[in-house]
Amino acid sequence: MTEKRIPELLVEPNKFCPGCGHGIINRVLAEVLEEMDLAEQAVGSLAVGCACLMMDTFGTDWIQAPHGRAAAVAVGVKRVRPECCVFTYQGDGDSMSIGFSETMYAAIRNENITAILVNNGIFGMTGGQMAPTSLPGQRTTTSPKGRDAELTGQPLNMINQMKQLPIGYLARGSVASAKDINKLKQYIRSAIETQMNGGGYSMVEVLSPCPTNWKMNMESSLAHIENTVKSVFPVGEFVKNGERTDA
Amino acid sequence: MPRRLMKGNDALSEAAVRAGCRFFGGYPITPQSEILEYLSWRLPEAGGTFIQAESELSGINMVYGAAAAGFRAMTSSSGPGYSLLQEGISYIASAELPAVFIDVQRYGSGLGDIFQAQSDYWQATRGGGHGDYRTLVYAPASVQESVDLIQLAFDKADEYRNPCQILSDASIAQMMEPVTLPEMHEHDPNAEWAVRGKHGGDFKRVTSTMYYIEDFDAYIKNKYDVMAEREQRWESVQVEDADLVLVAYGISSRICKEAVKIARAQGIRLGLLRPITLWPFPVKGFAEVNPDVKAYLSVELTSLPKMAEDVKLACEMKAPVEIFLGGAKIPESTAIVERAVSILKEQR
């Protein structure tokens, strides 16, 4: 039997739905913080939506911001306590819809924080409404006939919004396979290294399944990410050490 | 300390720095923009941080973060921008964090206009944001009092772990007066509740304290009851023998003070009750008023009466409460005296 090692930062079992990607992302983030010896000086900023369930189960200091404003709150912390490892953890509705301005301006000012944006293409906690990242044709509770891009616009690609900015690190990963999860861990580690080296703004977007609101099982959710979501939201590193890697 | 001639907004800013404020995130809007301009160079000089935020929403949430990290933090705004701060003020009150907010009031609803007014009284004193919270609201009537009250506001914010507000107006903010500034104060940011990484201790969660306090309803009611009982401040001028008592705060109170002088010289017994705290409203001050007072006159620079309702509650309608509205125009002290004389005639 191999030993089951759970990061000490995961102080309680998570509260996410079965098959949700947040649990994996939580685990990866916890491993990175512990391996980098940052667990004791980390401060997280989250708002509402499924991410806020982490406040009881993920044992770093936390601040819960108003919906969308986690980046601004994180900036307030980091500016007065630059020695802390300050990160945001938000879903796509939170960070890219109501919080688009706060998210973008943290990047525009190249604030020395790390943003983790979990893209599952839907508003999860409020019951499956359309998000900026919902795919064309995607059925949600507010696009019951499928998202009509003629009416609602194309899905928002935050990497494209940010990659021309002079920021430290930018990547998009996924939890669709073990290989992807290993890469995601590298991305999150690079993002946090960038922050702790004073390298400026770092952001990792994570493609993640929401089986509950996608009305899929876990296997088909992961296949959907692999076969469909990734074609709209390509994974990889886009900015590294302040340089474009895809130019 | 030598006295200096300073503009209201500049003096308020310098006093905040000297009170130990080390973080400001805010957005320009007239008539408070000098606060940003002043702090943009002064805070870095004092080892603090100034950020011109992309919006008031972002600015107040930066303040939320800095306050949660234990630092004395503030923002300021005016009218339309003050409306945008309300979401954050509600969150900061709910998380029971100390912070200071300034509203340099301007005229009107919607966009309104940039000239002096006292239109935001309800928003400041009734909560403004959603839910069950209160904030201490201080109303300076001079540049010196702006300096004195913002220091008190930071201290009281810490004492109660609750946001405090300065409700100023364009006149007080834009006028120049001589002031004495306090000594520099350094604030220790390492309160036990401040987020800075857990450093071997338990992890801390800054969010609505309602999640963690047993019998929260009773707890929060008691907190605000204690503040309401202890924190009332006012100035009274010749109210003990007054036939008519003017009630006014901020810039209006200065005109009323002159009105009292003019009236008394003519043998008309006017008095003035000047709330310094608008929440809690200084109900106790009304106990000093002549029990045979014939009427109160609430003098406000608004289009619609607001403070008058608090005056009615405070005096328990033992005498009629009349209303003098300045609206967009600052009234002449003589006009207030004329109105007082006419009210007293009607009362005979």
Alpha-carbon span A162 to A201, nearest angstrom: 10
Each residue's pLDDT, cut to its tens digit, for chain B (348 residues) gives 789 999 999 999 999 999 999 999 999 999 999 999 999 999 999 999 999 999 999 999 999 999 999 999 999 999 999 999 999 999 999 999 999 999 999 999 999 999 999 999 999 999 899 999 999 999 999 999 999 999 999 999 999 999 999 999 999 999 999 999 999 999 999 999 999 999 999 999 999 999 999 999 999 999 999 999 999 999 999 999 999 999 999 999 999 999 999 999 999 999 999 999 999 999 999 999 999 999 999 999 999 999 999 999 999 999 999 999 998 888 999 999 999 999 999 987
Q: Rounded to a whole number, what is the distance in Å from the CA of B277 to chain A's nearest CA?
A: 28
A31 with A182: CB under 8 angstroms? no
Given an 8 Å threshold on Cβ–Cβ distance, is B64 in contact with A59? no
- Predicted ipTM > 0.90: yes
Alpha-carbon span B134 to B137, nearest angstrom: 9
Alpha-carbon span B250 to B234, nearest angstrom: 11
Q: Which residues, other chains included, contact A35 with Cβ-Cβ below 8 Å and sequence gap of 6+?
A: A189
Stated pTM of the model: 0.97
Map residue B224 onto helix, strand or coil: helix
Establish if A76 touches chain B: CB-CB under 8 angstroms. Answer: yes
Given an 8 Å threshold on Cβ–Cβ distance, is B68 in contact with A76? yes
B228 with B256: CB under 8 angstroms? no
Phi, psi angle pair for A224, to nearest 5°:
-65, -40
CA angle in degrees (0–180, nearest 5) for B76-A73-B71: 65
B290 DSSP 8-state letter: -
Phi, psi angle pair for B269, to nearest 5°:
-90, 85
Q: Rounded to a whole number, what is the distance in Å from the CA of A145 to chain B's nearest CA?
A: 34
Alpha-carbon span B320 to B96, nearest angstrom: 39
Given an 8 Å threshold on Cβ–Cβ distance, is A43 in contact with B196? yes
Establish if B22 touches chain A: CB-CB under 8 angstroms. Answer: yes
